[in-house]
């Protein structure tokens, strides 16, 4: 199984949720941008407690469809939002356009007619996809060949993923 895994909430996804939220709660374009920038600055600085304090007054407010419940989103994901620490460690924090494209094509593959996935197989497929995207496919081939030569099976989690 994979050791030392850090779950990181995609910074671009978090920013998008902040912007959609700001559009719903601020009346003018200028105030929306200013508010979104303020919230994003807190989030990017790793100050999730301050961000939650800022959002607390809207915790139980019913939002119109399509508007994220930002308070709950931040509260549920706060352990995956330590962006300054991730940057210090040299970890990638945003998916950008390419990441969304990879997600889209992966979702399409998983939803093909007649295809059935269970959690274990989906994890294996996503691990292989991560190696393909990280251009570390040679590690996968090496493990498969060595395990096959020994007559063993392998778990995708056994393959180290290095960026």
Compute the average pLDDT of residues 115-139: 73
Domain that holds residue 60: 11-88
Q: Three-state DSSP class for 142?
A: helix
Assess whether pLDDT exceeds 90 at residue 50. yes
Last residue of a domain, one of 30, 54, 88: 88
Residue 76 lies in a domain: yes
Domain match, 103 and 138 both: yes
Domain match, 114 and 80 both: no
Residue 62 lies in a domain: yes
Q: Quick one: pLDDT at residue 163?
A: 44
Domain match, 101 and 135 both: yes
Last residue of a domain, one of 88, 113, 145: 88
| Average pLDDT, rounded, for the chain | 78
Kind and range of the H or E run holding 85: helix 83-88
Quote the pTM value.
0.57
Domain match, 66 and 126 both: no
Q: Which range has highest mean pLDDT (13-22, 105-114, 132-141, 144-153)? A: 13-22
Domain match, 59 and 111 both: no
Assess whether pLDDT exceeds 80 at residue 74. yes
Compute the average pLDDT of residues 62-84: 86
Q: How many CA within 13 A on the CB side of residue 9?
A: 22
Domain count, the chain: 2
Assess whether pLDDT exceeds 50 at residue 56. yes
The answer to whether 16 and 40 are in contact (CB under 8 A) is no
Residue 163 lies in a domain: no
Domain match, 83 and 104 both: no
Residue with the two structure tokens 């200028």:
30
Q: Three-state DSSP class for 116?
A: coil
Domain match, 26 and 80 both: yes
Residue 34 lies in a domain: yes
Among 29-33, 41-45, 126-130, the least confident range: 126-130
The answer to whether 54 and 21 are in contact (CB under 8 A) is no
Distance of alpha carbon 162 from alpha carbon 111, whole angstroms: 28
The answer to whether 130 and 149 are in contact (CB under 8 A) is no
Distance of alpha carbon 143 from alpha carbon 139, whole angstroms: 6
User: In the chain, pLDDT over 90 holds for what percent of residues?
Assistant: 26
Domain match, 19 and 77 both: yes
Domain match, 74 and 121 both: no
């Amino acid at each position: 199984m994979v050791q030392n895994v850090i779950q990181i909430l995609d910074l671009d996804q978090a920013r998008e949720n902040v912007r959609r939220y700001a559009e719903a709660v601020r009346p003018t374009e200028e105030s929306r941008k200013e508010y979104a920038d303020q919230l994003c600055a807190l989030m990017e600085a790793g100050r999730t407690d301050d961000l939650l304090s800022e959002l607390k007054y809207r915790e139980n407010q019913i939002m119109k469809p399509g508007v994220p419940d930002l308070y709950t989103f931040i509260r549920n994901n706060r352990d995956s939002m330590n962006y300054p620490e991730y940057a210090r460690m040299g970890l990638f924090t945003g998916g950008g356009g390419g990441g969304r494209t990879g997600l889209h094509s992966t979702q399409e593959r998983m939803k093909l007619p007649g295809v059935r996935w269970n959690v274990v197989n989906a994890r294996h497929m996503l691990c292989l996809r991560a190696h393909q995207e990280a251009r570390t496919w040679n590690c996968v081939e090496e493990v498969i060949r060595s395990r096959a030569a020994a007559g063993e099976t392998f778990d995708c989690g056994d393959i180290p993923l290095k960026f």
